Amino acid sequence: MANGDSPSDPIYSDPVFQMAMQQFEVIADHLQIPEGTRRRLIYPKRAVSVALPIERDNGEVHVFHGYRVQHHLSIGPTKGGTRYSPDLTIGESAALAVWMSWKCALAGLPYGGAKGGIRVDPRSLSRRELEVLSRRYMQEMIPFVGPQMDVMAPDMGTNEQVMAWFMDTYSVHMGCALGEIVTGKPVSLGGVQGRREATGRGVIYLIERALNMLKITPSECTAIVQGFGNVGSVTAAGLAYKSGMKVVGLSDHTVALYDPNGLDVAAADRHVAVHGVLEGFEQGERVDPNEFLTLPCDVLVPAAVERVITEENAGRLKCRILAEAANGPTTPDADKILDQRWDELFVIPDILCNAGGVIVSYFEWVQDLQNFFWSDVEITDRLYRILETAFTAMVKRSKERRIPHRTAAVSLGVERVLAARQARGIFP
C-alpha cells in the first residue's frame, strides 16, 4: 500500500485481524473486487478503546481496558457480542467485528458487525467488582452505542446478568427503560425465551441438516465438543439428547476428556453448575488438549476460542463434519488443507454455524422496538427458516462454482455488504 493509506495502529498488526484479512483476500479474489474497494470493505469504521478504573474489594484501584469496534454502518446499526477475556485485544475485537458483518449479511439481517469487550478474566472478580466494571464499560460506551447505532449482546465470559447491568446503566442515563440497547437480556427485562440456547440450537440444526444431506443417521454418530460454556454445553446436550449421538469428548480450558463409549453430558452439566469447570468430572480419560481435536469422531465442534484448527492438525482431523460453533477456529493455512479434503470433510463455517445467536438477538431487538413479543415456537421456527435459507444458498454456490463452503458463505455475505455500500455511494 502507498500514499499514507496503510494503517499503522495495533488493529492491523494483530494476528487475529491478519487472519480475517487473509480470509477476506481469498473472497475478494474470488469476487474480483478491485484493490481500493477491498480496503473500504475490510477496514473497520470505528474503533473505541477505553480505560476502566474500578476500586477492587481490597480498596486498591485497578485500571482495566475495554474496546468496541464497529465494522460498517452501511445497512443499519452494528451488532455483536461483548467478550470478557484476559487476552482480548482491539485487533481481535476488530476481526470478530468483521466476521459479524459477513455473518449478519449472510443471514439477511439489517446490521453491520461489531464486537468488543474487556481485557479481564471475569472469574478473577467478585460479583461486586464484575458489576462495577460492567457498568463502567457501558458508561464509557454511551456516546458510541444506541438502539439505532450499536447493539451489544453476550459473548465469551459474559451472560444475561452482564446484559442487564448494561441495559440498566444505559437506561438510567437516558431517563427511561430502553431494553433495545442490548440483546441476550433476562426475559424480565424484555429478553426473549431461548436466546441463551439459540447459538447451540442453530449449531444442532445445521449439523442435522448436513448429516441428512450426506445420508448419515445422527443416532449412529459420535461427537466431540471443545468448550463447555454457553454454546458448547447447549450443543453437546442437544447432540446427545435430541440427535441421539454418543458424545465421546468434552473439554474446557481446564481439562479435555475422552471416552469412546460416551460421556454423560447431563452429569457434566451438573458438575459445571457446581464447580464452574469440567476439571474434577470423573468420567472419561484425561487427554492432551492439543490432540483432543484429532481424536476419532463423526462430528467435531470447536466451541471455544480462535485458531485451534491449524496447519499442524488440519490434516489429522478424523471427523466427517466440522461444525465451527466458535468464531474463527480455523486458520487460513488450515483452510488450504481442509479444501483439499473437501470430499471427505464437510465444513459448516463459523459465520453460518453460530449465526443462531445473532438471529435470535435480531428477533429480540425487533420485539423490544415494537413492544410486541412472539412465542418461543415462533422464534425457533423463524430461526430455522433463516438458517435453512443460508445453508441452502451456501451449498448451492459451493456446488455451482466448485468452491469450499467458507468461500461460498463468506462471499455471499461480502457481496451483500458491497451491494449496500455501492448503492449508497462512494462515501457513505
Ligand X SMILES: O=C(O)CCC(=O)C(=O)O
Ligand Y SMILES: NC(=O)C1=CN([C@@H]2O[C@H](COP(=O)(O)OP(=O)(O)OC[C@H]3O[C@@H](n4cnc5c(N)ncnc54)[C@H](O)[C@@H]3O)[C@@H](O)[C@H]2O)C=CC1
Would you list which residues are annotated within the binding site? 79, 103, 199, 230, 361
Report if residue 235 touches ligand X, rule: CB under 6 A: no
Contact partner, 183, from ligand Y, ligand X, none, Cβ < 5-8 Å per class? ligand X
The residues in 327-346 that bind ligand X, with binding defined as CB under 6 A, are 327
Specify which residues 171 forms β-bridges with: none
C-alpha cell, 275: 464447580
C-beta of residue 387 within 8 angstroms of C-beta of residue 356: yes
Q: Which residues contact 113 (CB under 8 A, 6 or more apart)?
A: 70, 71, 72, 78, 79, 80, 96, 97, 98, 99, 100, 101, 102, 103, 104
> What minimum distance in Å lies between the beta carbon of 99 and ligand X?
7
**Pairwise CA distance, residues 52 & 88, whole Å:** 14
In the complex, the smallest distance separating the C-beta of residue 35 from ligand Y, rounded to whole angstroms, is: 30
Q: Which of 115, 185, 318, 399 is flagged as catalytic?
A: 115
Among 70, 78, 93, 183, binds ligand X (CB under 6 A): 183
State yes or no: residue 367 binds ligand X (CB under 6 A). Answer: no
Sign of CA dihedral 413, 417, 422, 424: positive
Among ligand X, ligand Y, none, the one that 228 touches (CB under a kind-dependent 5 to 8 A) is ligand Y
CA distance 366 to 348: 27
Residues near ligand X (CB under 6 A), total: 14
Closest to ligand X by CB, 94 vs 263, is 94
Using CB under 6 A, which of the segments 75-83, 141-149, 298-306, 331-339 binds ligand X? 75-83
Among 80, 117, 179, 191, binds ligand X (CB under 6 A): 80
In the list 200, 357, 404, 413, the residue contacting ligand X (rule: CB under 6 A) is 357
Q: CA–CA separation, 312 vs 284, rounded Å?
A: 26
Binding ligand X (rule: CB under 6 A), the pick from 134, 158, 361, 380 is 361
Cα separation of 247 and 127, whole Å?
A: 33
Question: Is residue 115 flagged as an active site residue?
Answer: yes
Distance CA 384, CA 374 (A): 15
Residue 196 found at the interface with ligand X (CB under 6 A):
no
* Binding flag, residue 417, ligand X (CB under 6 A): no
| C-alpha separations of 155 from 43, 179, 197, 358 in Å | 22, 18, 13, 11
In DSSP terms, which residues pair with 151 in a beta bridge?
79
Q: DSSP characters for 235-293?
A: HHHHHHHTS--EEEEEE-SS-EEE-TT---HHHHHHHHHHHSSSTT--SSEE--HHHHT
Cβ distance to ligand X smaller for residue 233 or 361: 361
Q: 198-210 burial by CB neighbour count: b if 16+ within 10 A, else e?
A: bbbbbbbbbbbbb
Element at 16 (helix H, strand E):
helix 15-31
Q: Among ligand Y, ligand X, none, what does residue 156 contact (CB within 5–8 Å per kind)?
A: ligand Y
**CA 75/CA 424 separation, integer angstroms:** 9
Residue 398 contact among ligand X, ligand Y, none, beta carbon within 5 to 8 Å by kind: none
- The C-alpha atoms of residue 266 and residue 181 are separated, in whole angstroms, by 34
Report d(CA 69, CA 64) in Å as an integer: 17
Contact 295, 317 (CB under 8 A): no
Q: Which of 354, 380, 398, 411 binds ligand X (CB under 6 A)?
A: 354
Cβ proximity to ligand X: between 251 and 361 the closer is 361
Q: Looking at beta carbons only, is 183 or 294 nearer to ligand X? A: 183
* Nearer residue to ligand Y within complex by CB, 383 or 403: 383
CA distance linking residue 265 with residue 267, whole number of Å: 5
- The smaller minimum CB distance to ligand X, of residues 203 and 309, is found at 203
Q: How far is the CB of 83 from ligand Y (least distance, A)?
A: 7
Cβ atoms 353, 194 nearer than 8 A = no
The residue whose Cβ lies closest to ligand Y is 229
The one-letter amino acid at 281: F
**Binding string, residues 134-173; x marks residues near ligand X by CB under 6 A:** -------------------x-x------------------
- Distance in Å, CB of 83 to ligand X, minimum: 8
Residue 172, amino acid: V
Min separation Cβ 51 and ligand X, Å: 24
Residue 106: CB minimum distance to ligand X, A: 11
Q: Are 243 and 205 in contact (CB under 8 A)?
A: no
Residues near ligand Y, by CB under 6 A: 81, 154-157, 199, 226-232, 251-253, 303-305, 325-327, 354, 357
Closest residue to bound ligand X by CB: 81
Contacts to ligand X by CB under 6 A: 79-81, 100, 103, 153, 155, 183-184, 327, 354, 357-358, 361
Which residues are known to be catalytic? 115
